[in-house]
Amino acid sequence: MEEKKYRVLSIGAHQDDADTSSGGLLKKLADKGWEVRMLSLTDGSRGTFREELAGPCLAEIRKKEAAASGALFGGRYDCWDIEDARLTPSLENRERLIRYIREFRPDLVITNRPNDYHPDHRNTALLVQDASYLLTVPFCCPDVPNLTYMPVMLYWHDSFQKPYPFKADVVVPIDGQFDTVVKAASCHESQYFDWLLWPDHLEKIDWPREKQVADLAERFGRMFSRYRSTYAAEVLEKFGEEAESIKYVEVFEICEYGEEPSADFLELLEK
């Protein structure tokens, strides 16, 4: 019998969302033979203070950066043409997403929670929620065959407390995947080495690339170490004596709009 080919789809609002928020898990699954796909719902054209870059020029740059990141996972990174900062949970966007997910047929979908500071992030989560049930409805978008199953859906980590705090249902050790996450983030030069490094959004830090990458690795290391300490009880419960050797983790919350993952499926993700 032919072994099942699993597929994972990570959906973010912007090009540096999916890979830096779920990249450790994506790399782990890619190494297990899963087909990896990432999707940015906007063109990323507004994330700059450079007037000469904003708009189509930056959108093209970010598309190339996303493609370079996707290659690190042996997968594809698609970018939609919706203008950055103008994503809405419209019927048109919902049906576009339904068709996209149906065509890829993922076993696992990952995105951010709907409680978030950025309207594009919030609306990404709403679009995934609104599309989820309709994936299986035959005469909704009948031009693309409906799914006959419901994918498992996960939310990546955030620190927002209202209306309720993040719950670490899935814990993924990523010590072996950490370098790939940093490399993926480093692909997004227009963001991590420009826009996101401007203190108070006023001036550019003009460091050599080697120093910028090292600084990025340090920041990601602190973040994943913080997850490890914050969710120490969950790590210990899931990994027992092995927990002592785990330095970095990614954590995910199970989204109730997707299929409830079985114990065997969770083991595919966490081990």
Whichever domain contains 135, its CATH number is 3.40.50.10320
Query: Average pLDDT of the chain?
Result: 96
For the cut 90, the answer to whether the pLDDT of residue 179 exceeds it is yes
Percentage of the chain beyond pLDDT 90 is: 90
| Spatial CB neighbours of 173, under 8 Å, sequence gap ≥ 6 | 235, 239, 246, 248, 249, 270
The predicted structure's pLDDT at residue 108: 99
* 4 band by pLDDT with thresholds 50, 70 and 90: confident
Residue 3 vs residue 7, higher pLDDT = 7
For residue 216, pLDDT over 70 is answered with yes
**What is the number of helices (H) and of strands (E) in the chain?**
9, 7
**2 has pLDDT over 70:** no
Pick the most confident of 48-52, 157-161, 190-194. 157-161
CA angle at 139 for the pair 136 and 140, rounded to the nearest 5°:
70
| Mean pLDDT, range 28-46, rounded to an integer | 98
The pLDDT, as a whole number, for residue 127 is: 99
Q: Can you give the pLDDT at residue 141? A: 99
How confident is residue 25, by pLDDT bands cut at 50, 70 and 90? very high
**3-state DSSP call for residue 208?**
coil
pLDDT (average), residues 206-215: 87
- Determine, yes or no, domain membership for 88: yes
- Integer Cα distance of 88 and 127 in angstroms: 8
> Given this model, what pLDDT does residue 205 score?
65
Q: Does residue 120 form part of some domain?
A: yes
Whether 2 maps to a domain, the answer reads no
**11: which strand partners?**
39
In a domain, 1, yes or no: no
d(CA 42, CA 211): 30
Handedness of CA 199, 52, 210, 14 (dihedral sign): positive
Nearest one of 264, 256, 38 to 154, comparing CA atoms = 256
Confidence (pLDDT) at 199: 56
Collapse the DSSP code of 93 into the 3-class scheme (helix H, G, I; strand E, B; otherwise coil) and give the result. helix
Query: Which of residues 200 and 141 earns the better pLDDT score?
Result: 141
State phi, psi for 193 to the nearest 5 degrees.
Answer: -110, 15
Helix (H, G, I), strand (E, B) or coil at 161: coil
Per-residue b or e along 104-124, where b marks 16 or more CB atoms closer than 10 Å to that residue's CB: bebbbbbbbbbbbeeebbbbb
Q: Is residue 150 part of a domain?
A: yes
Mean pLDDT of 187-210: 77
Cα–Cα dist 155/113, whole Å: 6
Residue 166, domain member (yes or no): yes
Select from 166, 167, 94 the least CA-distant residue to 132.
94
CA distance 39 to 74: 14
Specify the 3-state DSSP secondary structure of 163.
coil
Asked if the structure places residue 260 within a domain, the reply is yes
Domains of the chain: total: 1
Rounded Cα distance between 50 and 136, Å, is: 44
The gap between the terminal CA atoms of the chain, to the nearest Å, is 24
For residue 79, give the H/E element and its range.
strand 76-82
For residues 195 and 48, the answer to whether their CB atoms sit within 8 Å is: yes
Residue 109 contacts residue 12 (beta carbons within 8 Å)? no
Domain span at residue 133 reads 7-270
Contacts of 208 (CB under 8 A, 6+ apart): none
Report the pLDDT value the prediction gives residue 92, as an integer from 0 to 100. 99
Better pLDDT: 179 or 50: 179
Task: Evaluate whether residue 162 is within a structural domain.
Answer: yes
Q: Which pLDDT band holds residue 201 (cuts at 50, 70, 90)?
A: low
The pLDDT assigned to 121 comes to 99
